[in-house]
Amino acid sequence: MKVQILGTGCSKCRLLEDHVRQALHDYNITAEIEKVTNIDDIMAMGVMMTPALAIDGVVKSVGRVLTKEQLLPFLKGEK
């Protein structure tokens, strides 16, 4: 699984990345994490507001810093 954090590096983007890393560790889920910071690449994925989360290239959340608990269904493939 590839988890992409889309954002230019603002504090909310970094916080989302921290939550993703914590959730992967706490729930023992293996995934590759990629930070997408290029605005053209972000817009090419249809994202106009950051931070955003994509799983395997599919955007799952836009404009929100998800908690570890909110991330779990996405990381388990339930949403």
By annotation, the residues acting in catalysis are 10, 13
Q: Could you give the CA distance from residue 20 to residue 52 in angstroms, rounded to a whole number?
A: 12
Helix (H) or strand (E) holding 36: strand 32-36
- Least Cα distance to 23 among 66, 77, 71 occurs for 71
